[in-house]
Amino acid sequence: MIDINNNWICIASNNGFIRIYDLSAREARQQYHSKDISKMVQDFKYFLHIKLNKMGNRVSFTYCIDDNKNIYPGIMVWDADSDVISNFNFLTGMTDQQQYEANANASSFNASKRPNTAVARKIEKEQIRYRLPDYLPGFHCWDGNDSRYLICEANHHKPNAGPNYLLSIFVTSEDGLHMQDLQLKSRNSEILLGCTVPYIYFVRSDNDENDNISNNEMNIGNLLLRQIFRQFIGLENSDQTTKEAMMNFSYYMTVDKMDEAFKAIKFIKSENAWEHMAHMCVKTRRLDIAMLCLGNMGHASGARALKKSMKNGDPIEVQVAILAIQLGLL
């Protein structure tokens, strides 16, 4: 099994090895040591899908656990730079790092130490959102421009038994694997083909609803469907600098590096981008950044209402609700 991206090729063997080669020279050169995945993951039988990112330093993969084509319920990523395998488990709704933190927190409780309730609450909130016990990973792909950004299908294990989803994930050597978003997969789409923010591409489904596409979708010929990813609606006409700044902002918000997120957006001039970030602030409850966004949007009434609520010392839930109302989200 192979995958090619830019000047890189990934080869996955039947016995569980992954190798990455640089194709930029006259002869292919192996870039990293061979990785024996079969010894590093649970119940490995054979690879199902592999995908290589544009920098040639991360490989995402799914695999089967037996000869009956039963799929392991998770998406795995080998970071070749750090030689670490990260994963997200559909059954638990947690990444490997979250599972480690949850186990450590439980051990502290059992040892009569004071558990970190903030960590536990955060993990539980994420787990509720992302837990998909009736789903299995489908096709996945890396963004064409951002080597950190991974998209994976979450398909119901019984065809046509329920809606399917798309998971968006950030992966870096420094921060590991972090879930960014979960959204419904379009009924007009069949197979995930690729992603270049703000667009995601599919093979069109062959159904009667295909003529009723949403404003964020566009048919390309008879076979392809292009969709604007929900969290990037409004950015499709932005310049590359704005798109890169938005991706950095999204990444730092996802990994809870708020100061870095603030720095990433200082010089953005697009009003649509500021509105998009203000919407994200409702989700993250980062109201100081929301104030900056409202100011750059020229949303004086919204900034005034939020500032008044903050000055009155209203509960954070009330302040977030006011922000959402001002943005037309409620």
pLDDT tens digits for the chain (330 residues)?
A: 999 999 999 999 999 999 999 999 899 999 999 999 999 999 999 999 999 999 999 999 999 999 999 999 999 999 999 999 999 999 999 999 999 888 887 776 665 566 567 777 778 888 888 999 999 999 999 999 999 999 999 999 998 888 999 999 999 999 999 999 999 999 899 999 999 999 999 999 886 555 667 788 999 988 999 999 877 777 788 888 888 888 998 899 899 898 898 888 877 877 778 888 888 888 778 888 889 889 988 899 999 999 999 999 999 999 999 999 999 987
User: Domain end: 131, 153, 185, which one?
Assistant: 131
Residue 313 lies in a domain: yes
User: Domain end: 116, 131, 146, which one?
Assistant: 131
Residue 106 lies in a domain: yes
Q: What residues are paired with 22 via a beta bridge?
A: 8, 29
Place of tokens 């398909």: 155
Residue 303 lies in a domain: yes
The span from the CA of 34 to the CA of 47, in Å, is: 15
User: Domain end: 131, 147, 180, which one?
Assistant: 131
User: Which amino acid, one-letter code, is at 322?
Assistant: I
Using alpha carbons, select from 287, 248, 288 the residue that is nearest to residue 267.
Answer: 248
Asked if 227 and 213 touch (Cβ cutoff 8 Å), the reply is no
CA dist 283 → 93, 274, 278, 307, 323 (Å): 19, 15, 9, 18, 11
How many domains, the chain?
2
Residue 320 lies in a domain: yes
- Residue ranges of E strands in the chain: 2-5, 8-12, 17-22, 29-30, 35-36, 46-52, 58-64, 74-79, 84-89, 94-95, 135-142, 149-156, 165-172, 176-184, 189-196, 199-204, 217-220, 224-228
Residue 52 lies in a domain: no
Q: What residues are paired with 71 via a beta bridge?
A: 64
Residue 229 lies in a domain: no
Residue 259 lies in a domain: yes
Helix, strand or coil, per DSSP, at residue 93: coil
Q: What share of the chain is helix, strand, coil (3-state, %, to 5)?
A: 35, 30, 35
Asked if 171 and 58 touch (Cβ cutoff 8 Å), the reply is yes
Range of the domain at 284: 240-326
Residue 179 lies in a domain: no
